[in-house]
Chain A
Amino acid sequence: MKGVRKLAWVEVKLFVREPFALVVAFAFPFFMLFVLVGVFGNEVETTDPEAMRVWRGVGPSDFYVSTYVGLVVASAGLLTLPLRLAGYREAGVLRRYRAAGLSVTVVLGAQVLVCAGMAVAGAVGIVTTSTLVYGTALPADWALTVIAAAIGVAAFSSIGLFLGAVLPTARAVQGTGLALFFAMMMLSGSGPPRGVLTDSMRRFSDLLPLTHLNLLLQDAWLGFGWATTDALITVGFLAGSAVLAVRFFRWE
C-alpha cells in the first residue's frame, strides 16, 4: 500500500503542476452551474403540475446542485483519468513503472485515488460556490449523499480506467472521453431535466451511467431517500468496467 500512496501523492503533485488540466477538469461543471442558475433561477413552481413533475417539486437550482457533483465526478473519470493513463502508456512511463516493480493494482489504484481526490475537491468547490453565491440547498441526507458520491467516484474511475486501457492512444481517449462526457452532460439530467426529454432521448439516457448517478445523488440530496435501482445500476457499471479495465490493461 505504501507504493499506491506514494504514487498517488506524486500524481496529485503532477496534476496540480498542470493548471490547464485542472481548469479543463472543472470548467464544464462550473459553466453549467452559472448558465442553469442564470436561466432557471430557484423559484419553486407550485401552480403548474407539469413543472412540479419536471423539477421534482423543488426549485431548479436546488434540483441541479447535486447534478453538478455528478458532472465533476464524470469529468474526473471520463476526461482526466483515461487521458493520463493512455498518455503514460504512449510515452513509455508505464513501461518504466512496470520495470520498477509497480503492479497493475498499484498503478490503477493510484489513479483512482487521484480521481477521488479531484472529485472531492471539485465537488466541495462547486457546492460551496453554489451555496454561497446562489443560496442553494445543502444535502438533506448527508450520509446517503456521501455514499452516493463515493459509489459515483468508484464507478467513473473504473469507466476511466477501462477507457484508458482499451483505447489505443491518448488522442483516441480524448475524443471518446469528450464525446461521452458531452452526451452525458446533455442527457443525464445535468443539462435539460429528464422530465422534458423526449421518450427516445430518455431511453438513451437510461443507458448512461451518469443518469443513474445523478438520480442517486439527487434523491439523497433532496431527502427523497435511497434510489436502490439506480445505485445497483451504478455499481453494475463500476464492477463491469473494473473487470474489463484489469482484463484489458496493457503496459505498452
Chain B
Amino acid sequence: MTEGYRARDEPAVVVSGLAKSYGRVRAVDGVSFEVREGEIFGIIGENGSGKTTTVECLQGLRDRDAGDVRVLNLDPGTQRDALRHRIGCQLQESALPERLRVWEALDLFAALSPRSREWRQLVEEWGLAEKRSSAFADLSGGQRQRLFVALALVNDPEVVFLDEMTTGLDPAGRRAAWDLVREVRSRGTTIVLVTHFMDEAEELCDRIAVFKRGRIVAIDTPSALVARFAAHSTVHFSYDGDDLPWLSSCPGAASVRREGARFTVTGDGPLLAHVAAALIAHGIAPLDLRVERATLEQAFLGISELAGSSR
C-alpha cells in the first residue's frame, strides 16, 4: 500500500504504546487508541495528564520516545513534511507577530499549503470579518482563539487537531464554535478535540478518551461513559416543613440530603417517578421538583476516583 493512502474504513489515526518523558517525568505512558475517519474524537483529562503531549506527538511537533503512531497512514515523526499539509493544528499555546493583521495571517498560511481553502470564507464563518484588518495584538482572547481555529482549517485538512479550542470564548461564542466544528466534520474532516470542558466533549464528541497521569483510563462514547461511571441520578426539590424520613425508603434512593429547604435525593433507576409518588402520597407537591441527569462531568469525576484509587 502506498504511504499516506489508506484503505476504506481504515482509521485516520492509529496510536499504539505511545510514550514520552520529559526528564524523569513520564508525560505519556503507553497510550493506545484509534480515531475513525470522520469522527470527532475527544481527549479529556486533568491538567498535566498528557493530553497535549499526545496530540503534539500526533502532529509531529514532538518526538515520541516509544510506540507507533500513524496519522493518515503517515508517521508524524519521520514523515512530518508529507503529513503537514494534510492536517490542521490549533495549538494550545501559540502566538502570531503582534502587528500581523488577521487577513495577512490567513493569506500567509493559505500560501504555505499546496491545497488551501478560500480564506475569505473562513473569515466570515469564524466571525472575523469585522476584524479582518486588525493586528493580532489588538484582538481579544476569543478573537485570537477563533483566528487560530480558522488558521488550522485554512489548508482544508483531512484531520484537524483542536487543543482547547473554546478557551477564552464567551458562551455564545462557544456554541457558535461547536456548530462550526460539526459543520467541518460534516464535510468529512476527522477531528481530534482536546478539551477540559466536559459539556463541550459531551456535546461534540462521538467518542472520548479519558487521560489520567499519562494513561487512558476509559475510552467510549459519552453516553456509555456516563452510563458506566455516573449511573446515579439526582432529584431536587424544596420543602419548608419537617424532615421527610420516609424518602430514603423510596425504591432506588441511595441517599437523602437536606440543606435548609432544599432536598437532594440521589439514587438509581426511575428515581424521579418514585420520589414524586411518595411526595404526592404524603400530600406534598413541590413546584420545583426536577431530576438532574448524570453528566459526563460526574462520569469524569467517577473515572478519576476509580483510576486514582487503583494506584
Residues of chain A touching chain B, judged by Cβ–Cβ distance below 8 Å, are 2-3, 6-7, 10, 13-14, 17-18, 88, 91-93, 95-96, 98-103
Distance of A59 from chain B, by nearest CB (Å): 43
Chain A residues lying within 8 Å of B91, measured Cβ to Cβ, are 92, 95-96, 99
Q: Is the CB of B94 within 8 A of A95?
A: yes
Enumerate chain A residues within 8 angstroms of B61, measured Cβ to Cβ.
95, 98-99
Interface residues of B, Cβ cutoff 8 Å to A: 59, 61, 81, 84-85, 89, 91, 93-97, 99-100, 104, 107-109, 111-113, 135, 148, 151, 155
Residues of A within 8 A of B107 (CB): 6
The residue in chain A whose Cβ has the minimal distance to the Cβ of B86 is A101
In the complex, the answer to whether B113 meets A101 with C-beta atoms within 8 Å is: yes
Majority secondary structure of chain A interface residues (helix, strand, loop or mixed)? helix
Residues of B within 8 A of A92 (CB): 91, 93-95
Tell me which residues across on chain A come within 8 A of B59, comparing CB atoms.
99
Given A17-B99, A98-B61, 8 new contacts (CB under 8 A): A2-B111, A3-B111, A10-B108, A13-B104, A14-B100, A92-B93, A100-B89, A101-B84
Query: Given A10-B104, A101-B84, A101-B85 in contact, is the A96-B95 Cβ separation under 8 Å?
Result: yes
- Residues of chain B contacted by A13 (CB below 8 angstroms): 104
Hey, which chain B residues are within 8 Å of A7, CB to CB?
A: 108
Q: Specify which chain B residues have a CB less than 8 angstroms from the CB of A98 in the assembled complex.
A: 61
* Distance between A215 CB and nearest chain B CB, rounded to angstroms: 37
| Nearest 9 pairs of A and B residues by beta carbon | A101-B84, A96-B94, A99-B89, A92-B94, A91-B95, A92-B95, A17-B99, A6-B111, A95-B94
Contacts A/B (CB < 8 Å), 12 sampled? A6-B112, A10-B97, A10-B104, A88-B97, A92-B93, A92-B95, A93-B96, A95-B91, A98-B61, A101-B81, A101-B113, A101-B155
- In the complex, residue of chain A having the shortest beta-carbon distance to the beta carbon of B83: A101
CB distance from B154 to the nearest CB of A (A): 9
Which residue of the partner chain, among A6, A88, A91, contacts B108 with CB atoms under 8 Å?
A6
Contact of A3 among B104, B112, B135, B148 (CB under 8 A): B112
**Closest B residue by C-beta to A251:** B61
Which one of B61, B89, B93, B94 has the highest number of Cβ atoms from chain A below 10 Å of its Cβ?
A: B94
Query: Across the two chains, which residue of chain A brings its CB closest to B136?
Result: A93
Bound-state Cα–Cα, A95 to B61, Å = 8
Residue of B nearest to A99 (CB): B89
Question: A10 with B100: in contact, given A98-B61, A101-B81 (CB under 8 Å)?
Answer: yes
Tell me whether A100 and B93 are in contact (CB under 8 A): no
Chain A nearest Cβ from B88, distance in angstroms: 9
Q: Interface centre among A2, A3, A95, A103, by most B CB within 10 Å?
A: A95
Contact (Cβ within 8 A) A101 B112 = yes
Q: In the assembled complex, which residues on chain A have CB atoms less than 8 Å from the CB atom of B84? A: 100-101
Residues of B within 8 A of A93 (CB): 94-97
Shortest C-beta distance, A108 to chain B (Å), equals 15
Chain B nearest CB from A94 CB (Å) reads 9
Q: What is the minimal beta-carbon distance from A206 to any residue of chain B, in angstroms?
A: 38
CB distance from B197 to the nearest CB of A (A): 22
Q: How far is the CB of A155 from chain B (nearest CB, A)?
A: 26
Q: Which residues of B contact A18 (CB under 8 A)?
A: 99
Q: What is the minimal beta-carbon distance from B105 to any residue of chain A, in angstroms?
A: 9
Residues of chain B contacted by A10 (CB below 8 angstroms) = 97, 100, 104, 108
Distance between Cα atoms of A206 and B100 in the complex (Å): 41
B residues less than 8 Å from A88 (CB atoms): 97
CB distance from B129 to the nearest CB of A (A): 21
Would you give the shortest CB distance from B18 to chain A, in whole angstroms? 19
- A94 to B85: give the CA distance in the assembly, Å: 17
| Partner among B96, B99, B135 whose Cβ is within 8 Å of the Cβ of A96 | B96
B96 neighbours in A (Cβ, 8 Å): 93, 96
CA of A3 to CA of B96, assembled, Å: 16
Query: Chain B residue with minimal CB distance to A7?
Result: B108
CB distance from B78 to the nearest CB of A (A): 15
Chain A residue nearest to B89 (CB atoms) is A99
A10 to B135, CA, bound (A): 13
Q: Which residue of A is nearest B80, CB measured? A: A101
Q: Give A2 to B107 CA distance when docked, in angstroms.
A: 12
Nearest A residue (CB) for B111: A6
Please measure, in the bound complex, the distance between the C-alpha atom of A14 and the C-alpha atom of B94, giving whole angstroms.
18
Chain B's closest residue to A93 (CB) is B95
A100 and B112 CA atoms in complex are apart in Å by: 8
- Name the residue on B nearest A84 (C-beta): B97
In the bound complex, residues from chain A placing their C-beta under 8 Å from that of B99 are: 14, 17-18
Could you say which of B95, B97, B104, B107 has the most chain A C-beta atoms within 10 Å of its C-beta?
Answer: B97
In the bound complex, how far is the Cα of B96 from the Cα of A102, in angstroms? Answer: 14
A96 to B109, CA, bound (A): 10
CB contact under 8 A between A102 and B112, given known A92-B95, A96-B95: yes
Q: Which residue of B lies closest to A5 (CB)?
A: B111
Cα–Cα distance between A91 and B109 once the two chains are bound (Å)? 18
How far is it, in angstroms, between the C-alpha of A134 and the C-alpha of B151 when the chains are bound? 52
What's the least CB distance linking A82 to chain B, in Å?
A: 16
| A88 closest partner in B (C-beta) | B97
- Do A99 and B112 touch across chains, with their CB atoms under 8 A apart? no
